[in-house]
Chain A
Amino acid sequence: MIHEASSLAVLVFLVFAGSVVGISFYLGARARSASGYFAAGGGIHWAVNGVAFAGDYLSAASFLGICGMIAFYGYDGFLYSIGYLAGWIVALFIIAEPLKRLGRYTFADALDNKFNSRGIKLAAAVSTLVVSCFYLIPQMVGAGALIQPLLGFPHYVGVFLVGGIVTLIVMTAGMVSTTWVQFIKGTMLVVLCSIITVFILMRGVNTNPAATSAKAGEVARRGVEAASVLGASGQSVLPADGGWTGTPYVRVRDEGTGVVAVWRRDADGRLSETQTLTVLPGGAKLANGRPQGRGEGQGDLRPVGYASKLPGGVEKTGPLGPIGFLKTMQESEVILWGSDKIAGADGSVTTIYYQQPTPGSDFMTPGSSPTFRKVRSTRPVDKLDFLSLMLALFCGTASLPHILIRYYTVKDQVSARKSTVVGIAAIGFFYVLTLFLGLGAMTGGTLDVTDSNMSAPLLARSFNELLFAMISAIAFTTVLGTVSGLIMAASGAVAHDLMTNVLKIRLDEFQKVRAAKFAALGVGVVAMALGIAFARMNVNFLVGWAFNIAASANLPSLVMLLFWRRTTKQGITASILVGMLSSLGWILASAQAFKDVYGLDPASALVPFSQPAIVTIPLGFVVLVVVSLLTKRGAPRSAQA
């Protein structure tokens, strides 16, 4: 869809971005030392740090990806919310205090606290860089997705804009400004999403959002008698040649305008309206049969999202309470949209978006999305993908480098504990809201069938332009907050772990900070390139991969260091490297990568499921134990380091 640029949204965005950069410069003057740059001098208040945890963690994936997945498929998106939140329990109960006790700037410090091993520092630094880069991809993709409706610029402009601003923020003041950016963003995100949720409940659910919102699309036709379309005067049916052969689609050309409409033949023989996006051999695009655009004779895809049946046969419910809203959705039927891709005989490729009337009893339970469809399979092996992802989300949070370094910004272990609890409260509350936001977007009439990531901002637009402007600006700062944390973690890994501790380059405080700033610039450039390369993938799915790698590479060594006295430095190094490489290799050999990254047939994937954690996390533990036993020397070390 082509989204209208909003001058109000641009204005609000500029105010937000300007404020964030201004704060960054102001705070930059106050943190000159390495401690100030990497860990904010350990002087952040626990409550501020707790909200900053939320700002750091509630990334583009949480906000855009989860809301989009719920809006398109229902409850399955909420599974991510549950997994992401549950991971904080591992962080609080197992990791928070020991990490604060053992480390200084980076999580490699904690791992290497007793061993002073270059191997551990190198492995941990490389792992930090790999995980940070994988986590950066969805953030940058989300930035690009946001810029299109906000400013009307192409995807890559959004990537460059966010990449540039974030790199500037990190280079100016490091962890100090990063913390405050995340604090402001975390607070505003939770407050604004609460307001939108109230609006959703006040609006209730209806079968024709276009009646109450100018931004909502018209209801698409269903159950149309075939004869009234195929036999109408001035209409001709095109032959089912090329890829159209054997499909349920019928192409009808209007002889007057030459516009081709595509209908889908349903099981009862009647027709339902579809939407189409055709890419012609020369690259030009047709939307619903017309050249895509807003000008004379041009056309575009229509916004969608509404209930087709409500309990009691009513057309709208009116205001609902939270439980009443969920109950109504369970008992309603909603028009969701599936898609097919067909290659025509003339070399064109048409993506068809077709209506799927879906009962709430289906989309409000696990297994309604392509990602988790296999949980409804009767074969136990089909469940592994789901179980593996839920395991990765549970174990991944406590292994994310940009989350771990936030424990060094508070003064002591008690503060680390308190800030985690504040983080859990803020993040948990937000994740409860995601279910309402996603379901509100599903029935708000403003969804873009081509892009699930835009569901939350477009939901805000269904209420009013100011809300859209604010939520878009906050989504931007969401990306800014998370990306700045990731670049911070990566720059620390380069300057502190690799240059100072592995390569033994002698750097004074000033030089170390300067090296980190150059590293931040380099990582920022890499992040922008990756954000453009992976533009078409769902951001939530990409984050799932980052969690898999983080959990596989880092968690076994963190846990065993704390709880197994016989752990050796060789065991830790081997565990990190094997966990990281095996999970990365598995992902690159998975059906999802074949389909979305290489454009190959997913059936030819080299591994049986896409989420590796259920294999690679245990593998990391086994490698650590085996290598530690093989390399054990001298007296056992203390379990508490």
Chain B
Amino acid sequence: MAGFDVKAPVAKEQEDAAVVAHNTRMGVLLLAVYVVFYGGFMALSAFWPAAMGKTPTGGANVAVLYGFGLIVLALFLALVYMRVCRKSGRKGAA
């Protein structure tokens, strides 16, 4: 249970307005990207369900590929977010 200590003091984070604003902007931007793809999935499923049965690659159909794609995209965008986010300084912490 390394790294686990319920009695360890919690360092106070500094509020850096510029960093907060930057991270918020990045979050909204990446969310918008995901909403486009998720919205496309909803629209395709609801209004063109027959298109979901097509097999563009000869393997899995569009429904499966798009579904897996949304899961992979979520992880990819999460990693991008980690990369582009800035870090506020913290008092009394390394």
Residues of A within 8 A of B (CB): 27, 30-31, 36, 40-45, 48, 75, 78-79, 81-82, 85-86, 88-90, 92-94, 97-98, 101, 176, 323-324, 326-327, 330, 361, 364-367, 375-376, 380, 383, 386-387, 390-391, 394, 411-414, 417-418, 420-421, 424-425, 428, 431-432, 435, 562, 640
Contact partners of B41 in chain A: CB under 8 A: 82
Q: Is the CB of B61 within 8 A of A365?
A: yes
Q: Once the chains bind, are B13 and A101 in contact (CB under 8 Å)?
A: yes
12 contacting pairs across A/B (C-beta < 8 A): A45-B2, A45-B3, A78-B64, A85-B71, A89-B34, A93-B31, A97-B20, A326-B64, A386-B45, A390-B38, A412-B93, A425-B75
Residue of B nearest to A362 (CB): B53
B27 touching A93, Cβ below 8 Å: yes
Residue of A whose beta carbon sits closest to that of B79 = A421
Shortest beta-carbon distance, B73 to chain A, in Å?
9
User: Pick the contact of A365 from B10, B63, B72, B85 — CB < 8 Å?
Assistant: B63
CA of A82 to CA of B68, assembled, Å: 8
In the bound complex, residues from chain B placing their C-beta under 8 Å from that of A414 are: 85, 87
Q: In the assembly, what is the distance between CA of A75 and CA of B61, in Å?
A: 11
Chain B residues with a Cβ closer than 8 Å to the other chain, count: 56
- Closest Cβ neighbor of B66 among chain A residues: A82
Beta-carbon contact of B67 and A78 below 8 Å:
yes
CA distance A41 to B4 in the complex (A): 10
17 additional A-B pairs beyond A86-B70, A97-B27, A412-B93, beta carbons within 8 Å, are: A27-B6, A36-B6, A41-B7, A43-B10, A85-B70, A92-B81, A93-B30, A101-B13, A326-B60, A366-B45, A414-B85, A418-B82, A421-B75, A424-B78, A428-B72, A435-B64, A640-B24
Residues in B neighbouring A36, C-beta threshold 8 A: 6-7
Cβ–Cβ contact A94 & B79, under 8 A: no
A640 in complex: contacting residue of B4, B17, B63, B75, CB < 8 Å: B17
Q: In the docked arrangement, what's the CA distance between A200 and B63, Å?
A: 21
Residue ID in chain A nearest B34 by CB atoms: A89
* Chain A residues in 8 Å Cβ range of B67: 78-79, 81-82, 435
Whether the pair A364, B31 counts as a contact (CB closer than 8 A) is no
Say whether A640 contacts B45, CB under 8 Å.
no
Residues of A within 8 A of B3 (CB): 45, 48
B61 engages A86 (CB within 8 Å): no
Name the A residues within 8 Å of B5 (CB-CB).
Answer: 41, 43
Q: How far is the CA of A72 from the CA of B85 in the complex (A)?
A: 43
Bound Cα distance from A323 to B72, whole angstroms: 16
Cα A48 to Cα B2 with chains together (Å) = 10
Q: Which of A82, A94, A390 has the most CB of B within 10 A?
A: A82
| Contact yes or no, A86 B74, CB < 8 A | yes
Contacts of B10 in A (CB 8 A): 41-43, 411
Listed in ascending order, the chain B residues whose CB lies under 8 Å from chain A are 2-8, 10-11, 13, 15, 17, 20-21, 23-24, 26-28, 30-31, 34, 38, 41-42, 45-47, 49-50, 52-53, 55, 58-61, 63-64, 67-68, 70-72, 74-75, 77-79, 81-82, 85, 87-88, 90, 93
Q: Is the CB of A89 within 8 A of B78?
A: yes
- The answer on a CB contact under 8 Å between B6 and A92 is no
Question: Which residue of B11, B47, B59, B60 contacts A383 across the interface (Cβ within 8 Å)?
Answer: B47
Contact B24 A89, beta carbon cutoff 8 Å: no
- A411: nearest chain-B partner, CB-CB: B10
B55 shortest CB reach to chain A, Å: 7
Please tell me if the beta carbons of B68 and A330 are within 8 angstroms of each other in the complex: no
CB distance from A640 to the nearest CB of B (A): 5
Residue of B nearest to A391 (CB): B42
Closest 10 CB pairs of A and B: A93-B27, A41-B6, A42-B10, A45-B3, A383-B46, A93-B31, A365-B53, A366-B45, A428-B71, A43-B8
- Bound form: Cα–Cα A386–B25 in Å: 31
Task: Give the complex CA separation of A48 and B75 in angstroms.
Answer: 18
Q: Give complex CA distance A529, B65 in Å.
A: 41
Which residue in chain B gives the minimum CB-CB distance to A86? B38
* Residues B63 and A176 in contact, CB atoms below 8 Å apart: no
Give B12 Cβ to nearest chain A Cβ, in Å.
9
Cβ of B81 to closest chain A Cβ, rounded Å: 6
Task: Report the Cα distance A30→B4, complex, angstroms.
Answer: 11
